[in-house]
Amino acid sequence: MKKTWLVTGGAGFIGGNFIYHILSAHDDVDVVCVDSLTYAGNLSTLAGAMNDPRFAFVRADIRDCDAMRGVFAEHKPTAVVNFAAESHVDRSIKDPGIFISTNVTGTQVLMDCCLEFGTERFHQVSTDEVYGDLPLDRPDLFFTEDTPLDPSSPYSASKAAADLLALAYRRTYGLNVTISRCSNNYGPYQFPEKLIPLTIANALEGRRLPVYGKGENVRDWLYVEDHCRAIDAVIDRGKPGEVYNIGGHNEMRNIDIVKKICNLLGKPHDLIEFVADRKGHDLRYAIDPTKAKRELGWEPKTKFVDGIKSTVEWYLSHESWWREIISGEYKEYYRKMYGGKS
């Protein structure tokens, strides 16, 4: 039977990569993308899918019940994969309201539509940030699916709320939900406000490279295509009501990432500038992906050394994509966020 997957937030970083992954990996799946095209959504990211007869794009807000009911009535999705979110921690610290509205209410609206229209599966794309952080001096500790939720930022708190709501819809209404909680992603089409693309774009422009605090915070980086394969596996083989942690045991300090990018681009390390730390800055994220491996047979394929090289190459060969972004609203964001410091 023909399947139709409704992918929300597909004009963003991971959703866009996921749409390309699905269109090439599954002949029997049609994709409908719903995206409201916030500052983080770029239609140019989906240019390669627009002429595909199996793909449709609808500009709409996931919080808009009438618009969502219209999309469900027209396209009758068999599964919903919810990427749409406000996703940047720094923005959530400055303006939390939109994070609660989009990330929590938006998720609720989509799940109500799933119940009303009998959608077989709702998959919530979540984050390891819902677990809070781990100490730097305990490399033996990892986030498992049983780690208590303890979010630190308005962003991660809104994602944790959405996860709990999804699990409540499972228990109360029997909705077939799954949740994946992934570590930090990197790869093509990532908006240049996040560490890796910001560092690449700034280095190429000869601008300072802002590193928060001492640069000792640790993130667990996963190449975006590996995340897309993991979500695909959860939708195919994941059990209703279950949470799956996704990560590749690739922990790195921020300062080492920034230096690595300088080296790949042949730029001097003295571009690096240590700036004021993020409020409530999580120290370390580290995922234990044992369950995903055991139950889904999923493992990451891309080593960091290869993924970061191809990511840098992608930004070098897609200058027009990110230059257009940093010439718009981003300029004002950058000025407010980093002031004259970088």
* CA nearest neighbour of 263 among 315, 200, 194: 200
Using the rule CB under 6 A, which residue among 21, 63, 75, 229 binds ligand NAD? 63
Q: What is the dihedral of CA 323, 325, 326, 332, to 10 degrees?
A: 160
Q: How far does CA 64 lie from the centroid of its chain?
A: 22
Applying CB under 6 A, which part among 29-37, 47-55, 252-260, 298-306 lies near ligand NAD? 29-37
Q: Tell me if 77 contacts ligand TYD by CB under 6 A.
A: no
Applying CB under 6 A, which part among 13-21, 172-180, 190-198, 303-311 lies near ligand TYD? 190-198
Contact pattern for ligand NAD over residues 184 through 203, marking x by CB under 6 A? xx-----x------------
* CA nearest neighbour of 80 among 59, 39, 109: 109
Q: Tell me if 83 contacts ligand NAD by CB under 6 A.
A: yes
Contact between 324 and 330 (Cβ < 8 Å): no
- Contact partner at residue 35 from ligand NAD, ligand TYD, none, CB < 5 to 8 Å by partner kind: ligand NAD
Between 184 and 202, name the residue whose CB sits nearer to ligand NAD: 184
Contact pattern for ligand TYD over residues 262 through 301, marking x by CB under 6 A? ----------------x-----------------------
> What DSSP state is assigned to residue 328?
T
DSSP secondary structure string for all residues of 163-226: HHHHHHHHHHH---EEEEEE--EESTT--TTSHHHHHHHHHHHT--EEEETTS--EEE-EEHHH
Question: Rounded to the nearest whole angstrom, what is the least distance from the CB of residue 284 to ligand TYD in the complex?
Answer: 9
The pairing of beta strand 251-253 with beta strand 218-220: antiparallel
d(CA 297, CA 176): 21
Between 124 and 184, name the residue whose CB sits nearer to ligand TYD: 184
- Contact partner at residue 89 from ligand TYD, ligand NAD, none, CB < 5 to 8 Å by partner kind: ligand TYD
Q: Tell me if 219 contacts ligand TYD by CB under 6 A.
A: yes
Q: Tell me if 62 contacts ligand NAD by CB under 6 A.
A: yes
Q: 88 Cβ partners below 8 Å, 6+ apart?
A: 40, 155, 191, 193, 194
d(CA 266, CA 263): 5
Cite the active site residues. Answer: 128-129, 155
Residue ranges binding ligand NAD (CB under 6 A): 8-9, 11-15, 34-38, 40-41, 61-63, 83-87, 102, 106, 125, 127, 159, 182, 184-185, 191
Residue ranges binding ligand TYD (CB under 6 A): 89, 184, 194-195, 198, 210-212, 217, 219, 254, 278
